[in-house]
């Protein structure tokens, strides 16, 4: 890992089909307002990108935490739901529910998996960067 601080740059350009996002070395991404804000609802929006960033960060953080702890797991999936509301005349996310499901290979790893899911939630840099309540609803399945 590179030393801190890290810097990330994105350029957004408004066009006829929405907003084009570009970042060096990455494929471009088109976004638009969600249907809830009278957008077309068929493209990623700032709202879905933020919620997606939480899910993505959670999985990548779990992958690192599980590797460091030598947890043998089969798979992880993470569903995130963000609630957007008006508070004190400001529109903002008021809560985020993070619902990961980890499938482990051995029942003996269940307690360890639960512990690592909580450690992941504590270390997710995206949710740590937000002023929003984060609720963890973790599930551990076993294939044996």
User: Which positions ≥6 away from 107 have C-beta within 8 Å?
Assistant: 142, 144
Domain-embedded: residue 114? yes
Q: What is the pLDDT of residues 12-52, one digit of tens each?
A: 999 999 999 999 999 999 999 999 999 999 999 999 999 99
The rounded distance, in Å, linking the Cα atoms of 120 and 128 is 11
End-to-end CA distance of the chain: 36
Give the per-residue pLDDT at 36.
97
Pairing of strands 29-31, 73-87: unpaired
Q: Are 61 and 123 in contact (CB under 8 A)?
A: yes
pTM equals 0.92
- Kindly state the percentage of the chain with pLDDT values over 70: 100
In a domain, 115, yes or no: yes
**pLDDT per residue as tens digits for the range 77-98:** 999 999 999 999 999 999 999 9
- Which residues sit opposite 18 in a β-bridge? 15
- Residue 88's domain comprises 46-142
Can you give the CATH number for the domain in which 88 is found? Answer: 3.30.300.20
Q: Would you say residue 130 lies in a domain?
A: yes
Residue 2 forms part of a structural domain: no
């Amino acid at each position: 890992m590179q030393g801190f601080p890290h810097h990330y740059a994105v350029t957004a350009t408004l066009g006829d089909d929405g907003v084009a996002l570009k970042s060096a070395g990455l494929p471009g991404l088109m976004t638009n307002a969600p249907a809830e804000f009278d957008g077309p609802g068929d493209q990623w929006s700032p709202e879905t990108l933020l919620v997606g960033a939480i899910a993505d960060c959670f999985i990548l953080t779990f992958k690192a935490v599980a590797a460091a702890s030598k947890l043998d797991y089969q798979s992880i999936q993470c569903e995130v739901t963000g609630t957007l509301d008006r508070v004190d005349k400001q529109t903002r996310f008021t809560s985020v529910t993070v619902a990961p499901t980890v499938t482990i290979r051995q029942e003996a790893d269940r307690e360890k998996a639960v512990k690592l899911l909580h450690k992941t939630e504590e270390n997710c840099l995206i949710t740590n960067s937000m002023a929003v309540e984060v609720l963890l609803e973790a599930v551990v399945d076993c294939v044996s």
